[in-house]
A and B are shown apart, each in its own frame.
Chain A
């Protein structure tokens, strides 16, 4: 009871303060509902993290320019029941027609439960988790093979390094991270057979102190190009720049953070998917349940080359991009892991599901996943 009283008094006092300053747009709460399509995006971190969340926010910003599309966003939503309530609030209070749940842990149980509860609303989740047999038909997944852009990073890094050592700060030893590490190695090896990759796992998606320590340790170990797969690569790129070593980015553009040493970076191009969703919704068409892709269908890109890229690196990287657009395979077998076992028996297509279960580091990568 007392809490209602408190809030009401708080409200009145604040209201009085607001009235006193006449310059304010009183009561002008704009309605987020408009004719057309309302797309709501939920992010697990801040929109300006130079990483995963920023990559989505950049795409949503582009979506704002599409006719008849209203964009609503919410940042820093944890992977708890908070996200269920955030999505429900977008549906109930803002009339969202499509919810984009951008963090891995949002899917189960939150997206699944809400999709069942709101069959008229479309839910799409940014990881390949949707199962046609068990999951609601108004839910779905979209996913980009970022390892293709990391392969290009590797090519450029392989020709920009002088020590032949590339450092990689990684979050967790899970398949999507391992695939990026291995792709950097294969990219670098494709142009520089002496190139190696050294990995340090921080164990967390976002642990800036440990990321800085890892970046410093890799620089100390003689790596003269650093790259990473963590939620926000800002710390790694900045540390590389202050240490005077070159860097390749991840998720979004980190070029402004390293004016001297930035080579290129692996970036998502979510706007390809988001614009397609919005246009289909506006036209009353069904949304595909599962969308995945890479370079061949314009879903990833590399950051424009920075001062750290040598002319040879730029030429080779551009050639590699053309190759990937033509679906040239990255994993050309047979390949051994760094313990000597053959883990890739033959050449696999870049989208082969076999590669989604990757649980090894290839020969040439020093580091351990256990």
Chain B
């Protein structure tokens, strides 16, 4: 991502780096402010006070220790799903099937838990095996999307979306049939894994360990994409796949690897949904986190580490949603309107990069 184009090699100076960094911060922040203003106009038309709205958003999202935990708990699956979109995006793929990988990952974890738990396998072994099963299932599922893209030229957006429905159908098929717990008459579910096999909460909070897993993965993937030859090759491929092929980069393997990583992230989110929240797999896994992840990744400009704060912001919007509904008598869809406005404004703001002179290097300056 050099900000300078020139025939002679140049060294990026601190000033250039700072300008690029400032641009990458200022434009999304500006987009958020514009979104808030547009949304305020919408609220005024509804006869509601934007001041009340944003006060309640703050109170419900960050205002009390309960609110902060509420926000972080909701952010946990969103971080992993944001990463699931961001990694394929870096290699130039618009992969929107994280929801399916999450569902399949969660289901696989619950399914493998049945023989492990009934067989009395120790918790220390069962937990990681469940997580690994979830990551493999999710990873393999989305790797198919990458392989179809590379080997067969199938549009990854369409295939990943359609495969989401197949994944949900696969889970329903087993949950309502072969693996149905007889005790779950009116809500077909797999056998409960039991309290002992559940993932606990981070001490002193109500937030499960999935949050920490998301944080660690965000850091690891940030390093992988920016500090390794793999990440460099992936980003080159994302910039221009033909050029990457011409350079002899293993484009096929890179595509499959990136999609597999994405699927594994979403699968892990599914594991935490099962192991930290539901204790079994059922239709509740289909909660839309995978689709919210798309929005989060765009807002983070597909930057793994930035996915974290953006996911926290979406967690806050969700966490405060109830309070806003109750105190302001507004329908739940209001939060969707806000999210939609943010998304449109943000996509529009993508066209602004490179247009503000202040963020550009002055001609002839800073060159050595």
Contact string, B317-337, partner A, CB cutoff 8 A, digits 1/0?
Answer: 011001101111001110000
A82 B282 Cβ-Cβ under 8 A: no
What residues on A are CB-neighbors of B56 within 8 Å? 29
Given A2-B25, A2-B309, A18-B51, is A176 in contact with B186 using a C-beta cutoff of 8 Å?
Answer: yes
Query: Within 8 Å of chain A (Cβ to Cβ): is B73?
Result: yes
Interface size counted on chain A using CB atoms at 8 A: 58
B66 A89 Cβ-Cβ under 8 A: yes
Within 8 A of A (CB), among B57-78: 57-62, 64, 66, 70, 73-74
A89 B70 Cβ-Cβ under 8 A: yes
A105 B187 Cβ-Cβ under 8 A: yes
Query: Within 8 Å of chain A (Cβ to Cβ): is B29?
Result: yes
What residues on A are CB-neighbors of B187 within 8 Å? 104-105, 174
CA gap between A7 and B33 in the complex, in Å = 9
What residues on B are CB-neighbors of A13 within 8 Å? 33, 36-37
A14 B323 Cβ-Cβ under 8 A: no
A174 B73 Cβ-Cβ under 8 A: no
Query: Within 8 Å of chain A (Cβ to Cβ): is B94?
Result: no
Residue from the list A9, A85, A89 in contact with B29, Cβ < 8 A: A9
Given A11-B58, A13-B36, A79-B284, is A6 in contact with B325 using a C-beta cutoff of 8 Å?
Answer: no
Contact string, B300-323, partner A, CB cutoff 8 A, digits 1/0?
Answer: 000000000110110010110011
CA gap between A7 and B309 in the complex, in Å = 11
CA gap between A26 and B44 in the complex, in Å = 12
Given A10-B54, A21-B44, A172-B188, is A3 in contact with B49 using a C-beta cutoff of 8 Å?
Answer: no
A89 B60 Cβ-Cβ under 8 A: yes
Given A2-B25, A13-B36, is A25 in contact with B49 using a C-beta cutoff of 8 Å?
Answer: yes
A81 B40 Cβ-Cβ under 8 A: no
Query: Within 8 Å of chain A (Cβ to Cβ): is B349?
Result: no
Q: Which of B85-93, B215-223, B271-279 contacts A (4 or more CB under 8 A)?
A: B271-279
Within 8 A of A (CB), among B20-44: 25, 29, 32-33, 36-37, 39-41, 44
Query: Within 8 Å of chain A (Cβ to Cβ): is B288?
Result: yes
Within 8 A of A (CB), among B184-224: 185-188
A92 B186 Cβ-Cβ under 8 A: no
B186 A15 Cβ-Cβ under 8 A: no
A28 B52 Cβ-Cβ under 8 A: yes
What residues on B are CB-neighbors of A204 within 8 Å? 283
CA gap between A86 and B52 in the complex, in Å = 19
Query: Within 8 Å of chain B (Cβ to Cβ): is A76?
Result: yes
Closest to A23 in B: B44
A88 B66 Cβ-Cβ under 8 A: yes
B74 A82 Cβ-Cβ under 8 A: yes
B40 A4 Cβ-Cβ under 8 A: no
CA gap between A24 and B51 in the complex, in Å = 9
A17 B58 Cβ-Cβ under 8 A: no
User: How large, as a class, is the contact surface on chain B?
Assistant: 35 or more
B326 A90 Cβ-Cβ under 8 A: yes
What residues on B are CB-neighbors of A176 within 8 Å? 186
Residue from the list A27, A81, A205 in contact with B52, Cβ < 8 A: A27
Query: Within 8 Å of chain A (Cβ to Cβ): is B344?
Result: no
A29 B52 Cβ-Cβ under 8 A: yes
Within 8 A of B (CB), among A109-147: 109, 127
B54 A14 Cβ-Cβ under 8 A: yes
Q: Which of A67-75, A212-220, A243-251, A297-305 contacts B (4 or more CB under 8 A)?
A: A67-75
Closest to B198 in A: A109
What residues on A are CB-neighbors of B252 within 8 Å? none
Query: Within 8 Å of chain A (Cβ to Cβ): is B287?
Result: yes
A354 CB → nearest B CB, Å: 13
Contact string, B256-300, partner A, CB cutoff 8 A, digits 1/0?
Answer: 000000000000000001000111001110011000000000000
Within 8 A of A (CB), among B169-183: 172, 176
B180 CB → nearest A CB, Å: 11
A14 B51 Cβ-Cβ under 8 A: yes
Query: Within 8 Å of chain B (Cβ to Cβ): is A203?
Result: yes
B313 A7 Cβ-Cβ under 8 A: yes
A98 CB → nearest B CB, Å: 15
B284 A105 Cβ-Cβ under 8 A: yes
Query: Within 8 Å of chain B (Cβ to Cβ): is A175?
Result: yes
What residues on A are CB-neighbors of B185 within 8 Å? 174-175, 357
Query: Within 8 Å of chain A (Cβ to Cβ): is B15?
Result: no
Residue from the list A7, A27, A29 in contact with B62, Cβ < 8 A: A7
Contact string, A348-365, partner B, CB cutoff 8 A, digits 1/0?
Answer: 000000000100000000
Closest to A93 in B: B323
B311 CB → nearest A CB, Å: 9
- Extra A-B contacts (9), CB below 8 Å, given A90-B326, A172-B176: A3-B309, A17-B40, A27-B51, A75-B325, A81-B73, A89-B70, A93-B66, A93-B323, A104-B186
A residues in contact (CB < 8 Å) with B = 1-4, 6-7, 9-11, 13-15, 17-19, 21, 24-30, 32, 40, 46-47, 72-82, 85-86, 88-90, 92-94, 104-105, 109, 127, 172, 174-176, 203-205, 357
26 A-B contact pairs sorted by A residue (CB < 8 Å) = A3-B312, A6-B309, A13-B37, A14-B40, A14-B54, A15-B50, A17-B41, A28-B52, A29-B52, A32-B326, A74-B325, A74-B326, A75-B331, A76-B332, A79-B284, A80-B277, A88-B70, A92-B64, A93-B323, A104-B187, A109-B278, A172-B176, A174-B186, A175-B185, A204-B283, A205-B283
A-B pairs, top 9 by smallest CB distance, nearest first, are A76-B332, A18-B51, A3-B309, A79-B284, A10-B36, A18-B50, A17-B40, A24-B49, A74-B322
